[in-house]
Amino acid sequence: MNVNKIREDFPLLKRRINGKKIVYFDSACMSLKPKQVINAMLEYYELFPSCVGRSTHRLGNEATEAYMKAREEIANFINARPEEIVFLKNATEAINLVAHSFDFKKGDVVITTDKEHNSNMLPWKILEERAGIKHVIIKTTKHFDFDRFEKNVKKAKLVSVVHISNFDGSVMPIKEIIEIAHGNDVPVLIDAAQSVPHTKIDVKKLDADFIAFSGHKMLGPTGTGCLYGKYEALKSLKPFITGGETVSNTTYKSYEMLDPPERFEAGLQNYAGFIGLGEAARYLRRVGLDNIEEREEKINRKITKSILDLGFSIIGPKDARERKSILSFYKEGIDVYEVALLLDEMANIMVRAGKHCAHSWFNSHGIKGSVRLSFYLYNTLKEAEIFIKSMQEIVKIFKR
């Protein structure tokens, strides 16, 4: 893996602010886009900006072919079949699609963990209010509470859990969770927004019923995301958004829904975006997710040691190998937002500060927020050194 060659593909990394390069450590929120993805989108807009699956003219056929190839590319990326991939705006919409299309009844139990992003917390809270389901939360403070999980899964209708936490990088034991749930005939939805971009996912080996992930975190454009579903599981869902190209026929008294995935893709879609996402999947496959994980771990290890030496507390496992691409830290008496602003102002280092859309966890632990670093294939050990030196200076500022 030649990181210098990879960096040449990312236009943003050529930008200078006050004569300095940008250090981008915020890929868990939004990854950068390589020129290959940008060019694929431009090609759609410039050469065949037409409707997919509708227009029978040449441009429409070219657009449809490119769109279908993108679906095939993304399916191959996770070892799925194209008809098992639903194109949506993001992982949030994918989770909500399952939540609002599932056949829930009053009293049905949905199980999540206590480390969920709001996107896998709020849909169940809302259904708790509106439909009378019961939302059971499994603690993961020191380890996943399998005793409580096994007790509650027997009466569950669905298990919906995060794979890799977006705020601390900790990894849930999803294989065991899926095996236990399936042993009780309970389907499983995985929030894989932070795992699909960084670690190899094989849906056949994993055996989850549904997997949600976002394109903008894996080099793809904004407004792109996917729901993978076992085909029979997708067919069991009742669409909650309908319209053009979701039906084969309608009368004033009836309608005939198309099979998945089309039945869930109402109206004109983000064609350019998904063509770009297909190119992003190709790019990642060429580089190799194993190579990407190895680079992220080296950077995470280097920075972790320095952060601990500076007296900060790390959220999640202390061992960087157990936090994948994420490092989240804080210190009593130091405002995390000020740290993020100082990193930007001093060295063009882009990080995120706050509760990272996981307010419930932070509030329950009495932590006001954290600085989160998140790494990807284009980051370097030199950037890690720039960050470490900047943090040393920031600590001095707060001691004055």
Instruction: Tell me: cis bond preceding 317? Omega within 30 of 0 counts.
Output: no
Between vectors from CA 227 to CA 46 and to CA 146, what angle results, nearest 5°? Answer: 150
Task: List CB contacts of 364: < 8 A, sequence separation 6 or more.
Answer: 114
Can you point out the beta strands (E) in the chain?
A: 16-17, 20-21, 23-24, 85-88, 109-113, 134-138, 156-162, 188-191, 210-214, 225-229, 247-250, 255-257, 313-314, 326-330, 349-350, 352-354, 370-374
- Annotated catalytic residue, options 29, 51, 226, 357: 357
H helix runs in 195-251, sequence order: 203-206, 231-236
Nearest CA-CA partner of 26 in 353, 355, 362, 383: 353
Q: Which residue has the tokens 């500076």?
A: 310
Q: How many CB atoms lie within 10 A of CB 135?
A: 16
Instruction: Give the separation between CA 391 and CA 329, rounded to whole angstroms.
Output: 12
226 classed as catalytic: no
Q: How many CB atoms lie within 10 A of CB 289?
A: 17
Instruction: Give the separation between CA 74 and CA 72, rounded to whole angstroms.
Output: 6
Instruction: Give the separation between CA 364 and CA 220, rounded to whole angstroms.
Output: 34
Residues annotated as catalytic are 357
